[in-house]
Structures are given as C-alpha cells and as structure tokens.
Amino acid sequence: MTEKRACSIKTAVDWQFNLGATLLGHGTVRFRVWAPRVQAVSVVLPHRGGNPVPLAAEGNGYFSGIAMGIGEGERYLYLLDGETALPDPASRFQPEGVHGPSQVVVVNRSIWSDSGWTGIPLSDYIVYELHVGTFTPSGTFDGVITRLDYLCDLGITAVELMPVAQFPGERNWGYDGVYPFAPQNSYGGSDGLQRLVDACHSRGLAVILDVVY
C-alpha cells in the first residue's frame, strides 16, 4: 500500500477551498471539514485499514490536509478526537447510506453534450414537478430519462425535481435530507443526476432542483 500522509494547507486563500474530499489527481486528495467542537480530526479508511491520517487545524473550527496514496472510489470517515468516526457532512456520495462511510468521487465527470444549452425564458416555463423515487418503477435518475419524451409530448418545458439529497431509509419525499451535496445513492448518485440534466437539456427541457436546508 502506498504510504499516506497529510500536510497542512496554509495559504492566504484557505477559505476558498471546498469542504469535503477533493480529488487532486495522481492519488492525491484534499480533505477539509468544519468541526468547531473538537480538538483533533483524522481521516480513516475503513475498507483498507492502516493508521488514521491527521488533518491540521486551520483555525475557526476548520481542519484540512492533503492525503497521498488514495483516489477515486476510496471510502472514508472522519475520526473526531480519536474516538468517534463519522461520515463527511460535505460528502458528495454515500454509497452505504447516511450512516456509512463517504466516498471520494470525481465531480463533473460526465461528458456533457449540452454545450449549446442557453436556457429558456422564465415566461415560457411550463413546470412538471416529479419525485425521482416514484416517477418510474426503477426509482432512479436513469428511469426518469426514459420518460422525458412523454413529458415533452405533454408540452412541458421545465422539470422540477423534488429534493434528491441523501436521506435515511429507502423511501422519502426528500424533505429529510442529511447530506445536501450527495445525491441519493439509490437514485444513481451524482453521475446519474448529471446524466439526467444533460438528457433534459438535449430535449430543450430546463431543470429546477428543489432544495431543503
């Protein structure tokens, strides 16, 4: 196993770094979390083992570090004060649900085909609000794609998705989301959401995302 280490991130623009796990490439990931009530934070890799990777305190409750030897698909938890291991509150993907480890993902991986999309005037919006989990038998983003032509035939010009943030359990209207940056795993995660948005735009459909914080 490649040795892992974390180094402090101290620059004049610390506040500009994203929270969560950011894949920098070449087996390097930057972790950053806000945990104002603890004294120490480390990254643990539950499916790999090994020693925790300590993060450096930035001040104002932020901890960050760059870890070597890990990459896309790695699952991780934050170890707080050496005692409690929890998922990342800024997780982009929770493959095992809200209580499982977070996963390092490539953000904006999909090859978009909507470069010509410029939007439509708000006055032209005819909105169809749908719940991804119940709109099709599969209950997935890809399932919604199979029904987009039907929506176009109805004269719909904009699709509004009810909240898709990761929620506890198997069924939810979306108003009990736990991880605001992680699209529901059973729906298809961030890759599935990107495919759906791209498919909508290719048909001239605008997309509205209902969010709850």
* Res. 3: pLDDT tops 80: no
Do 6-103 and 122-209 agree at the fold level?
no
Here the tokens at position 180 are 């605001």
* Res. 1: pLDDT tops 60: no
Here the tokens at position 202 are 């290719």
Cβ–Cβ under 8 Å, residues 144 and 136: yes
Stretch among 5-9, 132-136, 188-192, 202-206 having the lowest mean pLDDT: 5-9
DSSP designation for 16: G
Q: Which residues of 130-163 are buried (b: 16+ CB within 10 A; e: fewer)?
A: bbbbebbeebbbebbbeebeebeeeebbbbebbb
Q: Where are the alpha helices (DSSP H) in 32-184?
A: 132-135, 141-145, 148-154
Strand 158-161 and strand 127-130: the pairing is: parallel
Angle at 122 between CA 116 and CA 125, to 5 degrees: 90
* Res. 63: pLDDT tops 60: yes
pLDDT of residue 17: 62
pLDDT of residue 6: 52
DSSP designation for 144: H
Rg of the chain, C-alpha, whole Å: 19
Structural class in CATH, domain 6-103: mainly beta
* Res. 85: pLDDT tops 80: yes
Domain-wise residue ranges, the chain: 6-103, 122-209
The Cα–Cα gap between 206 and 118 comes to 10
Q: Which tens digit of pLDDT belongs to each residue from 164-188? A: 999 998 788 888 889 999 999 999 9
* Res. 56: pLDDT tops 90: yes
The arrangement of secondary structure in 122-209, i.e. its CATH architecture, is: 2-Layer Sandwich (3.30)
Instruction: Give the CA distances from residue 48 to residues 6, 43, 123, in Å, rounded to whole numbers and listed in that order.
Output: 17, 12, 53
- With cut-offs at 50, 70 and 90, classify the pLDDT of residue 9: very low
pLDDT of residue 16: 55
> What's the pTM?
0.85
The Cα–Cα gap between 4 and 43 comes to 11
